[in-house]
């Protein structure tokens, strides 16, 4: 199976100027050792000659055992390996290459790029894969990204060896927790950080997903490059597309100049895609092309504007697999990003971490808001017990806000009591409410009247919980509840739920009053 040099194979007719875009000279390529392994003669020879003519230092092998012997003797920076070979297969060579040099960029070549085989290769440390047949341009683009990754890793190592830069790099994000569930998160984050594998983080709102993403970036070989973040649920579709991909002057009203997007800003670094399941399907398709090929085309552009090398970390506070089944998320994009899944447990499932987090936040906010030398207050045992027993529906973010509140208002050296904590009383689960407590609040003794009161109270409690669980996003709330948005609007109108100035959902009417205001849909639905 040879590379069709005269054809683009349907991919990237505008990507011929890859070397110019990446500005990688032949001298640089000659210092990067590349191994090509394939038992098909025409493909490996064509790959070898194409890369050699582009200035790469290439070694070509036709048998897996021969490549295995070579890998045991010397390391390579980049290895293109056929996944399916007789005797010694590609996964065996992948493990051998990484054992010799953990920083080797291994690209699997396969004529059967199934989800299972590709994901398994990526999980074992492969950097990417090339589905056969691939064009010369596709190979050049992938190799350009690989070379760029090698150069970024070398630059990071040089900085770490520089004492002055090492001191700056030492100020890293800390993941605080001693509980078993959170220690598993930290261990998984540490193990995946040195690789370029995509990570998919799940967890409730406020549980610390972005902090985990920052931790992974700062412990990666991309730590000296940018960490860019975008909340896919916070922006309308058109604005999100422009924010991520950039735009050309005149692409739309208000586009008065060319603007690079976050993909270009994060080149060489990490892009954090928060609430990915809220991204529209057209933008998902455009993002998938960047993940596969590294090619960015700005809004309003007819040519390739950049070739980027970005590590992707995605996150959501919902169920991504449910979103795939519901058709809200492309399965090919999900499986490309979910190479290493990490679930961050809610704070209520790790109460033993609360004292440690509390002390950290109290120290941080006391130094921020008070004059230097002021004696820090202390938490009483009763206050700590109260904090540990609170349900923390807002997770770590809620705890952080509570501690900042007391740091601002408590006198120096004072003891923080339980009653000083601004905790809200929230039901853990509206579904599990005690029927007796509901009945005790009824004023109508007739069956139908009492039933209507109980149903109304349940609906209000459930809606309050639902909107909090969905972070105020109506599309997500409707999906969690398993109803359409129209039904959700009617329920909210019935109970007078309106968005307040601080984006919380509150009851705007007194009991018994009718509301004529219909909640407006989210702009990013």
Per-residue pLDDT tens for 99-120? 888 888 999 888 776 767 777 8
425, 454, 426: which is closest to 440 by C-alpha?
454
Length of the chain: 525
Dist. CA 473–CA 470, nearest whole Å: 6
Residue 305: pLDDT over 90: no
Position 444 confidence tier, pLDDT thresholds 50, 70, 90? low
**Any idea which of 40-44, 175-179, 430-434 has the lowest mean pLDDT?**
430-434
Decide yes or no: CATH 3.40.50.150 for domain 348-420.
Answer: no
Here the tokens at position 307 are: 């070739």
What pLDDT, on a 0 to 100 scale, did the predictor assign at position 514?
A: 37
Q: What is the CATH number of domain 18-163?
A: 3.40.50.2300
Count the alpha carbons within 13 Å of 289 in the hemisphere toward its beta carbon.
17
217/223 Cα distance (integer angstroms): 6
Equal CATH topology for 18-163 and 348-420 = no
Domain coordinates of the chain in residue numbers? 18-163, 174-345, 348-420, 435-507
Q: Is the pLDDT of residue 191 over 60?
A: yes
The two three-digit tokens of residue 292, written as one number? 């596969």
Q: Which two tokens stand for residue 521?
A: 């849909």
CA–CA gap between residue 483 and residue 492 (Å, rounded): 13
Which architecture does CATH list for 174-345?
3-Layer(aba) Sandwich (3.40)
pLDDT tens-digit readout, 240-270? 999 999 998 888 887 888 889 999 999 999 9
Cα dihedral across residues 507, 509, 511, 514: positive or negative: negative
| C-alpha–C-alpha distance, residues 335 and 347, integer Å | 28
- The DSSP bridge pattern shows strands 306-307 and 311-316 to be unpaired
Q: What pLDDT, on a 0 to 100 scale, did the predictor assign at position 517?
A: 37
**Could you tell me which CATH number the domain at 435-507 has?**
1.10.10
What pTM, to 2 d.p., does this model score? 0.60
Average pLDDT in the chain: 80
Our measurement of the distance from residue 389's CA atom to the centroid of its chain's CA atoms, rounded to an integer in Å, reads 30
């Amino acid at each position: 199976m040879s590379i069709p040099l005269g054809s683009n194979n349907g991919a990237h007719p505008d990507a011929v100027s890859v070397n110019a875009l990446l500005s990688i000279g032949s001298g640089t390529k000659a210092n990067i050792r590349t191994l090509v392994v394939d038992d098909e003669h025409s493909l490996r020879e064509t790959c070898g000659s194409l890369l050699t003519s582009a200035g790469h230092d290439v070694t070509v092998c036709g048998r897996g055992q021969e490549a295995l012997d070579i890998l045991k003797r010397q390391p390579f920076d980049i290895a293109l390996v056929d996944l399916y070979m007789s005797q010694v297969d590609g996964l065996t060579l992948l493990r051998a290459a990484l054992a010799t040099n953990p920083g080797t960029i291994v690209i699997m070549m396969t004529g059967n790029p199934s989800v299972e085989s590709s994901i398994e290769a990526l999980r074992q440390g492969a950097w990417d894969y090339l589905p056969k047949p691939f064009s010369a341009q596709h190979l050049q683009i992938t190799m350009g990204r690989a070379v760029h990754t090698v150069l970024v890793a070398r630059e990071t190592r040089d900085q770490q060896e520089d004492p002055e830069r090492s001191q700056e790099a030492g100020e890293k994000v800390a993941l605080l927790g001693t509980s078993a569930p959170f220690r598993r998160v930290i261990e998984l984050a540490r193990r995946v950080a040195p690789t370029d594998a995509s990570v998919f983080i799940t967890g409730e709102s406020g549980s610390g997903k972005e902090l985990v993403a920052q931790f992974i970036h700062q412990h990666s070989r991309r730590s000296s490059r940018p960490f860019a973040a975008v909340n896919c649920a916070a922006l309308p579709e058109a604005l999100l597309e422009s924010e991520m991909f950039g735009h050309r002057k005149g692409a739309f009203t208000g586009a008065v100049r060319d603007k690079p997007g976050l993909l270009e800003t994060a080149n060489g670094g990490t892009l954090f895609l928060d609430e990915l399941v809220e991204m529209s399907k057209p933008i998902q398709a455009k993002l998938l092309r960047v993940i596969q090929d590294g090619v960015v085309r700005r809004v309003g552009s007819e040519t390739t504007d950049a070739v980027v090398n970005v590590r992707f970390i995605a996150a959501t506070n919902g169920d991504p697999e449910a979103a795939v089944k519901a058709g809200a998320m492309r399965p090919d994009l999900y499986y490309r990003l979910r190479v290493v899944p990490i679930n961050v447990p809610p704070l209520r499932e790790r109460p033993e971490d609360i004292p440690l987090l509390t002390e950290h936040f109290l120290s941080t906010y006391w130094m921020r808001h008070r004059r230097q030398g002021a004696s820090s207050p202390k938490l009483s045992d009763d206050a700590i017990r109260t904090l540990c027993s609170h349900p923390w529906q807002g997770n770590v973010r809620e705890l952080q806000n509570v501690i900042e509140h007391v740091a601002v208002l408590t006198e120096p050296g004072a003891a923080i009591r339980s009653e000083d904590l601004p905790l809200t009383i929230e039901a853990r689960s509206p579904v599990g409410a005690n029927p007796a407590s509901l009945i005790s609040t009824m004023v109508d003794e007739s069956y139908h009247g009492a039933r209507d009161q109980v149903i109304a109270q349940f609906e209000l409690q459930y809606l309050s919980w639902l909107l909090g669980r969905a972070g105020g996003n109506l599309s997500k709330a409707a999906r969690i509840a398993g109803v359409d948005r129209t039904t959700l609007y009617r329920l909210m109108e019935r109970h007078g739920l309106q968005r307040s100035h601080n984006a919380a959902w509150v009851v705007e009417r007194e009991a018994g009053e009718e509301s004529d205001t219909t909640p407006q849909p989210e702009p990013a639905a």
